[in-house]
Amino acid sequence: MVKIAIAGGSGNVAQEIIDVLVASKKHEILLLSRKDAPAGSSIPGVTWVTANYDDTKQLAEILQGVHTLLSFVSPMGESAGTIQKNLIDASIEASVKRFAPSEWATSGLEHLSWYAYKAEARQYLKELNKDKKVLEYTLFQPGLFLNYLTSPYKSSKHVHAMEIPFDFKNRRALVVDGGDDDRVTLTSVQDLANVVARAIDFEGEWPVVSGIRGADLSVKEVIALGEKIRGAPFEIEKLKISELGSGEWKTSWIPRLDHPSIPVEQVDMFSRIIVAGCLLAISAKAYTCSDEWNKLLPDYKFADPEEFLSEVWRGKQ
């Protein structure tokens, strides 16, 4: 048993992982949040702590005795990089053994400007350990959640099934012209949570990059899978890289990315920015992740995309 702290613990991905950790009954869990605990939120084995991410000293006090810190903070604006840095500094001051910065997505960050804080954390951690190991850390990277392909139907307890350029419900897709063979790593959030729980129990040293590969499919294969499961051809709209890069692209529809971290009044604006960035990132191989934990956990069976999606879509229009 170890003591685990989870920063940004009220987020949906964090909640999926917390559920698995709680079910294991192995660890003491501190849930750090800028918000006070909601009424009636008591969970056996979980202690809710209201944290000020701008106060490194307070964070270090909270983290006393913590073995592993998992960060899920996804702040918007200029403070994002500072919050990650403060968590790292506080971890070092409190002698935390292991740290996972807020990753939980892509391997590359090209074209994904809203992930700038991830790049800052990566660089800061790399510099800290340049001459000697100051803090053991890893970058958990599962690629695109398989669960998003079930939108608008939920396929996990907490993750919001938001729209993405592969729209299985309406049998349509937005793709980069000439990008049929671009590849995407698809991993269910359930598999991510299970692997992270096993990573915490892992006795060896964490790899710096923690690729988690549920499946690796080309854009063409994702669409073919959708057509098979949904029983009809997809309407495909192709966009040129130059159009996406300039912002001067037009389509008959735009996925509405109503992620909990995006203010409601800004969803439409950010949807256009994020869709273009994600399509460009797929083209740049940013959504192709490595398989470090597949190799470290050879007996773990990942969800098969066809089986997973067929089960969710069965009987649905």
pLDDT digits (tens, 9 = 90+) for 286-303: 999 999 999 999 999 999
Identify which has the larger pLDDT, 268 or 255: 255
What lies within 8 Å, CB to CB, of 24 at 6+ separation is 197
Please determine, for residue 40, whether its predicted confidence score (pLDDT) is greater than 70: no
What are the structural domain ranges in the chain? 3-137, 144-187+215-313
Two tokens, residue 187: 């991993």
**Residue pair 7/30 in contact by the 8 Å Cβ criterion:** no
What pLDDT sits at residue 264?
79
pLDDT of residue 265: 83
Average pLDDT for residues 48-71, to the nearest whole number?
A: 96
For the chain, strand residue ranges (E) read 3-7, 28-33, 46-50, 68-71, 98-100, 136-137, 139-141, 144-145, 166-167, 172-176, 183-187, 209-211, 215-218, 235-239
Across 154-174, average pLDDT: 95
**Predicted local distance difference test score (pLDDT) of residue 123:** 97
Q: What is the DSSP letter of 38?
A: P
232 — pLDDT class (breaks 50, 70, 90): very high
Mean local confidence (pLDDT), 131-159: 97
pTM over 0.85: yes
Note the maximum CA span of the chain.
58
Whether CATH 3.40.50.720 fits 3-137: yes
Cα(234)–Cα(165) distance, rounded to whole angstroms? 12
CATH number of 144-187+215-313: 1.10.260, 3.40.1130, 3.90.25, 3.40.50? 3.90.25
Asked if pLDDT for residue 227 goes beyond 70, the answer is: yes
Domains 3-137 and 144-187+215-313 belong to one CATH topology? no
pLDDT (0 to 100) of residue 76: 63
- SS3 breakdown of the chain: % helix, strand, coil, rounded to 5? 40, 15, 45
Render pLDDT for 2-12 as a digit per residue (tens, 0 to 9). 999 999 988 89
For residue range 66-105, list pLDDT tens digits in order: 999 999 998 765 566 799 999 999 999 999 999 999 999 9
